[in-house]
């Protein structure tokens, strides 16, 4: 069985360029999770991206399954894009690693439409404590693996204010995304206010 992580890292490099920083976090009883920082470059010169590396080493297991399949099951990494220089967003490395470890720690399957909450600001002074998991395929293409392994999906994370997270629980992810779109919300602004929800 090929080691997945070198392939995942190569895909991240080809899509996002060379990282200029990386941090590793290990939680008790879990594999090491790294977070790579990709500096602002190209047409979107002010957007910095953070990507996890390590979440896809094992497939996510259905928490109701009696035994986790070591090969089959969804695999993913997380990608967060924010405007550089507005806030101390480099402090997001640990919260991102916590989210990436959640399938191993809590037995959850992270999929588009899900909310993930870290219970504290994503970075100092951030108005967000949670993220909405968006559809993959836009920024970093899925990485196909040899059967029977499923492809690794690179899931974008959209920071949510507590009010937005509460509204999303009632109305659903598509309704919140539509509201963001209708109000022209800049989801990469690390200090943005909540979208109007009335």
Tell me what pLDDT residue 44 has. Answer: 58
Read off the pLDDT of residues 60-115 as tens digits, 9 standing for 90 and up: 987 677 676 778 889 999 999 999 888 899 999 999 999 999 998 888 899 999 99
Position 45 confidence tier, pLDDT thresholds 50, 70, 90: low
User: Does the pTM of the predicted model rise above 0.85?
Assistant: yes
For residue 1, pLDDT beyond 50: no
Question: Which of 28-32, 50-54, 97-101, 128-132 is least confident?
Answer: 28-32
| Whether the predicted pLDDT of 42 surpasses 60 | no
Distance between alpha carbon 54 and the CA centroid of its chain, in Å?
Answer: 12
Q: What is the pLDDT of residue 73?
A: 87
Strands (E), 84-163: 115-117, 130-133, 152-160
Helices 173-182/162-171 angle, 10° precision = 120
Cross-sheet strand order for the sheet of 33-38: 21-25, 33-38, 47-53, 75-83, 152-160, 130-133, 115-117
| Mean pLDDT of all residues in 31-36 | 92
pLDDT at position 96: 95
Among all chains, which residue has been given the structure tokens 């806030």?
87
Bond preceding residue 106 cis, omega within 30 of 0:
no
Query: Pairing between strand 115-117 and 33-38?
Result: unpaired
More confident site: 71 or 42: 71
Instruction: Calculate the dihedral angle through the C-alpha atoms of 177, 178, 182, 183, rounding to the nearest 10 degrees.
Output: -30
Per-residue pLDDT of 122-173, as tens digits, reads 999 999 999 999 999 888 999 999 989 999 999 999 999 999 999 999 999 9
The CA distances from residue 191 to 73, 84, 87, in Å, are: 36, 11, 7
DSSP 125: T
Q: Among the residues of the chain, which ranges form H helices?
A: 4-16, 93-106, 162-171, 173-182
Rounded CA separation 116/135 (Å): 14
pLDDT at 43: 54
Torsion sign over Cα 39, 42, 47, 51: negative
Q: Which residue has the higher pLDDT, 131 or 198?
A: 131
């Amino acid at each position: 069985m090929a080691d997945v992580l070198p392939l995942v890292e190569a895909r991240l490099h080809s899509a996002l360029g060379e990282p200029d920083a990386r941090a590793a976090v290990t939680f008790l009883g879990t594999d090491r999770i790294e977070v790579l920082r990709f500096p602002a470059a190209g047409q979107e010169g002010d957007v910095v991206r953070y990507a996890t590396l390590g979440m896809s080493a094992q497939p996510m297991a259905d928490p109701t399954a009696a035994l986790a399949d070591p090969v089959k099951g969804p695999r993913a990494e997380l990608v967060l894009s924010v405007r550089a220089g507005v806030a101390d967003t480099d402090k997001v490395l640990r919260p991102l690693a916590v989210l990436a470890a959640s399938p191993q720690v809590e037995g959850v399957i992270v999929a588009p439409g899900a909310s993930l909450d870290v219970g504290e600001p994503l970075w100092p002074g951030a108005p967000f404590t949670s993220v909405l998991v968006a559809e993959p395929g836009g920024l970093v293409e899925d990485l196909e693996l040899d059967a029977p392994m499923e492809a690794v999906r690179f899931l974008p994370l959209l920071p949510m204010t507590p009010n937005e997270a509460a509204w999303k629980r009632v109305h659903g992810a598509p309704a919140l995304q539509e509201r963001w779109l209708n109000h022209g919300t800049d989801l990469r602004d690390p200090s943005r206010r909540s979208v109007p929800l009335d």
